[in-house]
Each structure stands twice: as structure tokens, then as C-alpha cells.
Amino acid sequence: MEIKKRDGRVVPFNAEKITEAILKAARAVGGENRKIAESLTKQVVVELTKLGYNGIIPAVEDVQDTVEKVLIENGHARTAKAYILYRDRRSRIREGKSDLMDTVKEILVETNRENANVSNSPSAKMLQIASAASKRYYLTNLLPEEFANAHTSGALHIHDLDYYGKTLNCLQVDLTKLLTEGFNTGYGFVRPPKRVASAAAQAAIILQSNQNDMFGGQSFPHFDRSMAEVVKTMAAVPSEEEVFQAMEGLVYNLNTMHSLSGNERIWILDKQVGEFSTRSMEEFHRTFEEGRYQALSVNYRTGATEIKDITASIRHKNFNKIFHVKLKSGQKVAVTDNHSVMTIGDSGKIETAVPSRLRRALVPRELQLVKDKIVFDLTKYPASVKYELDSLALTPALAKVMGLYAAEGSVDASTLYLALFNSELETEALSLLREIHPGFSVRLRVAKGKTRDLACNVGQRFAAFLADKCGRGAVNKRVPGELFFAGEAYVRAFLDGYLSGDGTVGANRVVAGTVSRELRDGIQLLYMKLGVPVSLRDMLPQSNFATAHQRYMVSAGGYYLGNLALSGGKGGKLSEAIGVKGEQTPYDYEFLRQMIKDVYGVFCGNAYNYRIKPQYLESIAKDLIGRILEDHEKESIGQIAREQFWFDSLADMLPQIQSTEKYHLLKKLNSRQLPRFSKYLPVFYPYEEMLSRFFLPKTVCNESGSRIDNSCQSPALVMAWARMILAQNDKMVSLLEVLNRVLRLWPMQVSELQEAPHEEFVYDISVSDNENFLTAEGIFVHNSRAGAQVPFSSLNVGTDTSEVGRAITRSILRAFDRGLGNGESPIFPNLVFRTKKGVNMEPSDPNFDLFKLAQRVAAKRLNPTFSFMDTTFNLKYGEEVAYMGCRTRVIGNRHGEERSAGRGNIAPVSLNLPRLALQARDVNLFFVELDRLLRVGARQLLHRFEILGNLRVRDLPFLMGQKLYMDSDKLGLDDSIKEVIKHGTLAVGFIGLAETLQALIGKHHGEDREAQELGLKIISHMSKRLEQFSEEFDLNFTLVATPAEGLSGRFVKMDRDLYGLIPKVTDKEYYSNSFHIPVNYCMSLFDKLSLEGEYHKYCNAGHISYVELDAPPGENVEAVEEIISQMAVSDIGYGGINYPIDECRSCGYSGIVSSCCPGCGGSEVRRIRRITGYLSTDDRFNSAKQAELRDRKTHCS
């Protein structure tokens, strides 16, 4: 007998499986008789055999149907019920697996954007696949069937289902507490800040760290007040400029995710031990201590490589692609696709560029790291009886021995072994060692007639010292960290020793290879100290043996070999290689060509025909120094370029002139005219000769007779000459500044971008002043000031009236006004300006100037949005109510203090109101079904609350472990968080009130008062029911005007499948947001605000209303003030002004762009729009929100 499986395969029938299934069902209801199970199995087989007589192979479903039938017929009803339930559960799991596979296929084809701030990258798709698997698990294994069916059918929507049992939604973070007490990120304790910049940096770290523990938004409820309270405790009160720089850094940081792979290595100076070394970003993050470490960093202005403090290290979740940026010289770095790498723009300024826009990256050309004297303390190593050594000063001999050891050395107790040595080098090695200690001795060891190695008797202490400084074992070899501070003679000596062993001198290059990546990177750094450019290459092992290692190659060549010195036979070969004139280094100074032409004209030599080389640039720089005006020359020529100077000169001369020309000149002066010529005027310079010094023509203006000579006495010509000289001198000064900057760097051409495997976490560091750092392979990358892009971050400001608090608010607004690096509008954080009469809304209020500034910035940047403390429902809380950008509001509390700080929403669920209306088609029946669904939603939130309540403090190490949540300071590490999260809210939301009213009475609330009254009745009814649930369950149930993003399209698609295309209900790709009037309905902004304002008081978990404008208000701040005033009188709790912002990525133009930029004609346009309270670029909107965006109509005043 055979059976057909669900996938169509036919396999042998196994009756034992039926017996086991019946027995499992029986055990579920207390049965345990195997004989009965076997007897029932025989009956099942008989029934199935009958099918076989008709030529039908029974399927799995046939077997299960027969089992149920046999159980019921034999009086085993309870067992049958258990079997049916088990079968149904298995079916749900199977269907879940099938649905999951379909979902994964869909994700791999195209990202379905539920979140406008998650990119369409492989890592984002990995995130979505993991999310889909979590959702499917919860639906099929954890959720009661009633809730799972309600979600999958579209009756309601369980938000962030993938996090159902993992964590909470959002939090208003008490910044004051964390900054005054300090906090632990999990990788070290962060002390309270001592400077305002550090406080801002820590604020970003706090947002990021808590974001890692939660799935929703992060907000500071009183950012101005919290920062002010912390700053007031600092030893020195910061200046306004320092506060602005700190706030600008915060805004910049939250909009630029500068992230490196955890495996990427960087150069670190440990100040405690005074040594440079390379560490991976992940390793460094684990060991970071504030104030201990420094990085190599390029100065934007000078191009010099400097040592700067590392102020923070941050780990965060990765939502982006990771790319290997590889240079033609072989260096590479692994960064996220939106990470900035340092580059030089065509203007010669040091800038940043993301990988996709990077043409050239920066590698140091010089390292000015020198200490006067380097002395090693040897007393920490085991003493040697024979060779007394307590300290050693670095000498060229010691440096060369270190190089020899790094190449081919090993130590064993008291002996140093140098491999691949011959008798010629034996004498040299002995000489070097005896310079270190006269008692050291060597012997050449021979095996089977061949040289084996050189054994050097150096004593236990020196041997241990050498192994410690240079590494023990080939894969652990490194350049001693102190050598990076040594002078050129010591560097050359080390490289001489190293290349004597590992180096090969070719026709025009010196190549060395090692199995130690750290050693190769250190060798490159030493080459940089000598100004020698290198190429890097990684060679994979050629065998599969476990002992085979990847080899790391470094090579230098051409003209620059003259900076090296090698001894022995390799020295002779090096001399031959130095003579080769070919230049192979893939640097790129071509951007300087036009700048040089603009100054030198036809005299610029090879800038017209040949590759621009550093040697040529050095000669240009030297030449410019001899041509640029001295300070006294610039001052005097500046004087004669001014018209007033000539009037004054003539006035001074008049008393000495005795001829009739005196009266002619006097007449000119009285009419404020200068003479064309006067023989009485002095000659200040050899005018004609000086023109050649600046490569200028002898004709100084366009008029006839404008040729100047050395003795010219025409004020007009001399002034024109002076202005030409000064303008050309400015060009020369600018060119010299650029040359001095770029000659300290190698701008290396980018070879390729290769996408790297996804990593769950990526890493940032913050470097003071220069804000960039050097990777181990020698590429400068931009850093994050602290933290990374934090989606859904909000700052509430505006009501602190202290001087420091006002400075914080003023500076954060100014930072938004200025924009990012090229003037782009910041996306994050969402800025919420809190308004209150007596504080900032009237001209006599102390913060009225900040209110006006907020209006001006909102007219340009879409931010800030505005919250209103004087509404009927916020007034009793004073200034305590805080909002998140998405609209979330948390204030009422049955279990403690009514405040926003330290509290948030636990989880939301949203009801599909249009579905209820389409089902009921009757207002009274609608309310019956609404009550039923409200209770389902509330019970689902209770279930989620109980699941989350089982989490322990250790499960949320930052949120609970660092005591961010109200009363979490009362919990131990293994305590349940249930009692603490009672302070949070359980939010029931809704969507599509407009479509609901349309389905019930044929009109929406924007066009009909009856519809408005019904809408208010529905929402107020929901609010009252949730108040009743709060009493019933003693938890904070609240009503939220859902910020639907992916949900707006999901519900309407499902309802269209059920009910067809219904005009003004299911005929669009989206349902209207919460209580909003349809975006495609034309009406005045005042009417819209008045109507929507009536709903805010019922939605105590959050609400927002917008007005749509067709363009940024710009300078029309009065219009913004009028809108905000209308919001205030309309009892609106939270509102924003929407308009399109289009920004050209090429030239920075900002305005309304249809297809091509009017500034440069470019087609790469960044289009910023507001979606569900936050800003995003429109290419990240899902299809439903794209449709809504197209339908939006502007509101007239």
C-alpha cells in the first residue's frame, strides 16, 4: 500500500505513524492505551484499503479524515477533538512555512517598503527575511488563533509583529539622568561629560544604544532643559559658538551613518603605553576607554596628518550595503554604502564622498611624528646574568636588528635566530649586535652543507624584549610602535634590515611579502614617513594545507626609491632601480591642471601636455613663494588700488605745485575727479616689470592707451594695474595653499567597488577636531561625531528660559537652518518646538525670539514641527507633555507620576475602520462591531503585555539595565520587567476614518457637518471604551491616531479583494491616515485645521495634523506664524507644515525641481517629503505612500 504526500511524492504506507498520532492525541486528554490505538489503526487501514480498490492512492488528508471518522465512530470524542486541534495546529505551521517561503521569494525580487527609512540593499533584505520569519513564527506558534486570524484577515494590524515577544516600542529618554550619572553601553562606562560637545556626542550614543534595545522611536522630552542642567555643572560655561558646534555636530551625526565593517582595522595610539598599533573596529569598541586613545587624522585646511583624540566608539545595527572600496594602489577599506571617505575635490579642498561618488581617496604622503629620543625600559623582561641591560636607546643599529628580526627572526630563550643568512652577512650582524651590547656573539649554523641560520647569543632579556616589540611567530610580526615616532635615519635602518630578509629588488621596484597583515601595514606607515608611495596586494595561499597563510605584499618603486638605503647586494640592485624614470604610482593630481593654467597661462609648462607629478607641483610651489607679494608689498599696492589714496595724494601735493596745473588739479579735486595724468604724482613700482612676475599682460584695461610702463603717472592705469596684481596674487596664494595641502597627501585613484557580505553590526568612532581617521591600510575615512543615523529620533525644545537652555534651542535651530555639509536639509532628528503662552508665543515672552527663529527654520527645512501646551488636554500638565515625530504622546499614568520622561508606548495595534463600515453598512451595527473589535484589540495587547512582562532586565541591557525606564532602578538583573512596564501605554489605533464615513453615509468629514459629527462620535466612543479597559485591566490603555505607513496600503488591498472597487472607499491605493481629511480634497487650511483639531483631544496616545503648501514659504515667515496660530486656536496638540523640498545632489540647488536641476542640468535630485510625521526621501516611500504623495492637494489660506 502507498500514500501520496502533500508535495506529490508517492511513498510506502506506514501504519505505525497513524498509531503514534492517535496515541499522542489520546495522551493530550489523559489516555495511554497503545492496544486501543493499534486497534483503531487497523480500522483506519481497512477504510483506506477500500479507496485502493478504486485505484485511488490515498493522500495524507484522506488518512487524517479517516482517523477523525474512526475516532468519533468508536466513541473517542475527546481524543478526536485533540487530534483535530493537533492537525489544525500542524496545518497552520505548514501554511506558515509555505507563506514564509513565498514572502522570502518576494523580498528577494523587490523590497516591499513598510519602513521608509530602511534601504533596498542585501542587508535590508536580510533584515526583512528575518522579520518575515519572526512574524510567521509568532502567527503560527505564539499568538492565540483569534488574534492571528484577526491580523492575517485584515480586521486589525499588530504593529511590528516581528518584535512581538522581544522588546517594547518607544521611549521618552530622561537625558538629564544619564548625562549626570553616566551610563554603560555594554562595552564600557561613559563618564558624565565635561564639555558641551561631549554631552551632545553622548546624547547621540544614548539614542543609538537604546534604539538597539527597542523597535520604535527614541526621543528626548526636554532636550533644552536637560542639556542646560548638565552644562551648568561644567567647570567652564561654553561660548555660543561652542554650543552651536556641539548642536551642529549632533544634527550632522544623526544624518550621516559613517560606519565601517567590524573587521576593518584602524591605526590607534594608546597613550598609556605610547605605542601605535592596528586594531579591528570590533576589538577596539570592546576595549575603548574615554581619554586613552588617539587616531591619525588629516587636517582639512593644511592636509597634514595629525594625532587627535578618539572621543567615542559606537556599535549599531546595519541596514545598508557594505562595500570594499579598492584603490588602484591596492589599499582598500570596507564601509557602508553611505559612509564618507576623505577625498580632494576639483577645487583642491579636502572633502568627503560616499563610495558611489568617490573618484580619488587620500593616503598620507608624510607623517611628522618625531620624538627627540626613544629609550626602551628592559627591566620588565627576565634578567640575563651574562648581558646586563636595563634600558636601550633606539639607534640605527637596534632599528636594523629589529628589521632583520621582523623579516626572518625568531627567539628561543636567550638566542636570536636569523634565517636565510650567509657568511657575508654574519660579520654585519655581529657588528650590529655588538653596537647594542659588546658581549653579544653570533655563529653561522650549517645543515647538510648548506647555511641554515645565524644563531645570535643575546641573553634572555634582549630576546624577550625583541619578541615583545616585534611579535613572536611569523603571523604575529609587527613594526615596534615606538618606531613610528623615530627619525628618518632609524626608519631607513629598520627598512634596510627588513628588506634584507623579506625584500626583493626588481627592475624598478622593491617588493616584500609577509604573512602578518599588521607588519605589512606598519611597513606602509614607515614608507609614508619617508614620503614613498606604495602599492599593496593580498595573495591567497596556493595550497589547502592548514599551515598555508595569506601573504600581504607591499611594494615601492620608481623615482621614490631614492629615499631608501639597502645594504649588501640588494643595495647595488637598488641603485639600478633608482635610475628607472618610469612613474607607476596611480596618484591623481589632474584636478590641479586648470588651477595652474589659470595662474601661469602659457608659462605653465607640462600642465598642458604631461601627467602632473608631485615633483612638478613642488617646483610650482617653490616658484610661487618667490612671486607672491610680501606683506609690505601687498599693503602698499592695496593702498594705490584705492581711489581715495590718489585724492589724498593730490591734496597733499597741491601746496607745492607752482604752475597753472595747480588750478586744473584743484578743479578736478573739487568735482571728485582724478586727472588722467599728472607729472607731479610719484612712481611707486616698476609697473611694467612687475606684470611679468605675475604673468599678466601690459594692457591693464580695455580702453585705448591702457598699456602701462614702469614710470606711469596715470592714477586710473595704476589703480587698474594694482587691482590686477592683487587679484592675481590672490589666485597665487590660493594655488599655493592648495599645493601645500595636496603635497602632504597622495590622492589615489579608485579602482573598483565590490559589495561585501552583510554584517549585522557596524562600527563608528568619533575623532576630535578633524573628524576623520586613518585605516590600517592607509586610507583616510570620515568619522561619526558620535553614533549613527538613528531613524525615528526626536528632540523636544523651546520652553527652557535659562540662558544656557536658550542657547541650546537657538543653536539646534541654527544648525537645522544651515543644513548639512552641502546645505542639504537634515532628515533626523525630528525637531519638536514646544509652544506655551507666557514662555514663547507673545512678543513679551522670554523665548519669543526662539519661536520666531523656529518659524523661520520651519519655512525652510520642514522642521521643527510644533506642539501646543495650552490645548484643553495638555494645559493641566504644564510643560511636561512631549511628542515624538511620529505623533506618539505619553503622559497619563495609573501607576505613578504623570510625566513623559522614562516612559513610552509598549505596543500598538490598529483597527481597520473601513472594513467594519463595509461589513455593517449601518451606523448602529457599525458600533456593535466596533465594540467587538476594540475588545479583541485590547485583549491582544494584554497578551503581548504578558509575553513582554516575562522579559528580564538582562534581556534589555541598556533600556532596563541602565535604568532608563521609570522605576527600573528598583529591579535586579534577573527580575521580570512586568511591574515596570505598567508605566507604559498600550495603544489602540485606527485608520481610514474618511473612508469609513464615506461607506456609512456617503460623505467624509471634510465636506459635510453630519459626517464630522459622526466621525467625532466614533472616535470619542473609542476613547471612552479604552478608558473603560484601563479601569477593567488597571493598565494605561490609550487611543492613537495611527501613523500608518505600510498599513495604509495593506488594508485597502485586502478590502478591495473582499468588496471590490468602491468609489471614494477602495478606489485608491491607500486609506487616509487616522482622522485626516482625504489628502486629495481641496479646502482651506483654516477649515482643515479647525475640523481635524476637534479629534486631537480624544487621541491621547498621539495625534498630528498637517497643512500642505505648494512650495517652501522661505522668507514668508508671516504665513508660517499664521498657520501655527490657527493650529493653536483649533485645539491641535501637535502639527506640522508640509511642502516639497528638492535638492540637487550635484550642485546643491534647493527649490522645486521637475526633472532636471535648473542650476546645473543634473538629474540626480533628492526629494524630501514628510511621511507619518518623519521626513524621508520619496524614493523610500512604499507604493501606497507614493500614491498618497501624488494625490496631495495644497491648502489655501
Average pLDDT of the residues in 158-168: 91
Number of Cβ within 10 Å of residue 656's Cβ equals 8
pLDDT at 698: 87
Distances (CA, A) of 901 to 879, 884, 954, 1142: 12, 12, 22, 36
Q: How far is CA 664 from CA 642, 668, 712, 714, in A?
A: 22, 6, 20, 15
pLDDT of residue 399: 98
Say what angle helices 593-600 and 614-627 make with each other, to 10 degrees: 30
* Non-local CB neighbours of 836 within 8 Å, separated by 6+ positions: 799, 868, 869, 870, 879
Q: Which amino acid is at 474?
A: A
The residue to which cell 576639483 is assigned: 346
Between the CA atoms of 692, 696, 701 and 704, what dihedral angle is there, to the nearest 10 degrees?
60
Residue 397: predicted pLDDT: 97
> 3-state DSSP call for residue 1080?
coil
Cβ(861)–Cβ(827) below 8 Å: no
Between the ranges 263-272, 545-554, 1183-1192, where is the mean pLDDT highest?
A: 263-272
H helix intervals, 375-485: 396-408, 423-436, 459-470
Q: Residue 315 pairs with which residues in a beta bridge?
A: 763
Categorize the per-residue pLDDT at 969 as very low, low, confident or very high, splitting at 50, 70 and 90.
very high
Long-range pairs for 1088-1091: beta carbons < 8 A, 24 or more residues apart: 1088/1006, 1088/1195, 1089/1123, 1089/1126, 1089/1127, 1089/1130, 1089/1132, 1089/1135, 1090/1126, 1090/1130, 1091/1005, 1091/1006, 1091/1012
- Please report the pLDDT score of residue 90 as a whole number: 63
Asked if residue 816 has pLDDT above 50, the reply is: yes
- Band (420; pLDDT cuts 50, 70, 90): low
In the DSSP assignment, the letter for residue 1071 is P
Q: What is the DSSP letter of 1111?
A: S
What integer pLDDT is reported at residue 240 of this predicted model?
Answer: 95
Interacting residues of 20 by C-beta distance below 8 A, sequence separation 6+: none
Determine the Cα–Cα distance for residues 1009 and 976; give it in Å rounded to an integer: 50
Say yes or no to pLDDT of 630 above 80.
Answer: yes
The pLDDT value given to residue 277? 94
Q: How far apart are CA 544 and CA 541, in angstroms?
A: 7
Q: Which of 150-164, 732-746, 821-835 has the lowest mean pLDDT?
A: 821-835
C-alpha cell belonging to residue 858 = 520651519
Domain with CATH 3.10.28.10 in the chain: 375-578
Please tell me the predicted confidence (pLDDT) of residue 785: 47
Q: How far is CA 1173 from CA 716, 797, 812, 831, 885, in A?
A: 62, 17, 19, 11, 5
- What are 94's three cell numbers? 505548514
pLDDT > 70: percent of the chain: 91
Residues 892-949 pLDDT 10s:
999 999 999 999 999 999 999 999 999 999 999 999 999 999 999 999 999 999 999 9
The predicted pLDDT at position 108 comes to 43
The predicted structure's pLDDT at residue 330: 96
- Which has the higher per-residue pLDDT, 784 or 192? 192
Using the predicted structure, report yes or no on whether residue 196 has a pLDDT greater than 70.
yes
Higher pLDDT, residue 355 or 56? 355
- Residue ranges of the chain assigned to CATH 2.170.16.10: 260-365+744-782
Between 552 and 27, residue with greater pLDDT: 552
pLDDT band for position 126 (cuts 50, 70, 90): very low
User: In this predicted model, which residue has the larger pLDDT, 1187 or 238?
Assistant: 238
Sequence-distant (6+) residues with CB within 8 A of 1000 are: 917, 920, 921, 922, 923, 926, 1014
Phi, psi of 277 (to 5 degrees): -160, 170
- Mean pLDDT on 579-597: 83
Give one DSSP letter per residue of 315-364, joined into a string.
Answer: EEE--S-EEEEEETTS-EEEEETT--EEEE-TTS-EEEE-GGG-SEEEEE
Band of pLDDT at residue 680, cut at 50, 70 and 90: confident
> Is 70 exceeded by the pLDDT of residue 183?
yes
Please provide the average confidence, as pLDDT, over all residues in the chain.
88
| Alpha-carbon torsion (74, 79, 85, 91), positive or negative | negative
Residue appearing with cell numbers 461607506: 999
N-terminal to C-terminal alpha carbon distance within the chain? 81
| 1059 has a pLDDT exceeding 80 | yes
In terms of Cα–Cα distance, which of 312, 63, 140 is closest to 209? Answer: 312
Worst-scoring range by mean pLDDT, 261-270, 672-681, 974-983? 672-681
Q: Looking at domain 375-578, what is its CATH homologous superfamily?
A: Homing endonucleases (3.10.28.10)
Classify residue 639 as left (phi > 0), alpha (psi -120 to 50) or beta. Answer: alpha
Confidence band, pLDDT 50/70/90 cuts, at residue 95: low
The C-alpha atoms of residue 276 and residue 479 are separated, in whole angstroms, by 9
Pick the more confident residue, 777 or 60.
777
pTM of the model: 0.65
Q: By three-state DSSP, how is residue 709 classified?
A: coil
Please state the rounded mean pLDDT for residues 188-215.
87
Instruction: Identify the pLDDT of residue 334.
Output: 95
β-partners of residue 343 are: 351
| pLDDT at 88 (0 to 100) | 61
pLDDT band (50, 70, 90) for residue 1165: confident
DSSP 753: E
Of 917, 794, 803, nearest to 865 by C-alpha is: 794
Q: Is 1197 exposed, middle or buried (0-12, 13-18, 19+ CB in 10 A)?
A: exposed
Query: Pairing state of beta strands 1134-1138 and 1105-1108?
Result: parallel
CA distance 623 to 138: 74
CATH number of this structure's domain 260-365+744-782, picked from the four choices 2.40.37.10, 3.40.50.2300, 2.170.16.10, 3.30.70.240: 2.170.16.10
Residue 336 — φ and ψ, nearest 5°? -70, 160
Strand, coil or helix: 1131: coil
Cell of 1086: 483654516
Mean pLDDT of 428-440: 93
Kindly list the distances between the CA atom of residue 860 and the CA atoms of 829, 957, 1159, in Å, as whole numbers in the listed order.
16, 40, 19
What is the residue type of 51? Answer: L
Tell me the pLDDT band of 113, cut-offs 50, 70 and 90.
very low
Average pLDDT over residues 1169-1180: 72
Reported confidence tier of residue 99, pLDDT bands at 50, 70, 90: low
Q: How far is CA 979 from CA 68, 110, 437, 975, 1171, in A?
A: 45, 42, 71, 10, 35
- Residue 565's pLDDT band, with cuts at 50, 70 and 90, is confident
Percent with pLDDT over 90 in the chain: 59
Band the pLDDT of 121: cuts 50, 70, 90. Answer: very low
Q: What are 470-521's pLDDT values in tens digits?
A: 999 999 999 999 999 999 999 999 999 999 888 888 888 899 999 999 999 9
**Any idea which residue has 628588506 for its cell?**
499
Average pLDDT over residues 836-856: 97
Span 24-40, pLDDT tens digits:
888 877 787 888 888 99
Which backbone phi and psi does 728 adopt, to 5 degrees? -70, -35
Helix 1085-1096, helix 1117-1129: angle, nearest 10: 40
Residues with Cβ within 8 Å of residue 764, at least 6 apart in sequence? 258, 259, 260, 312, 313, 314, 316, 783, 784, 786, 787, 788
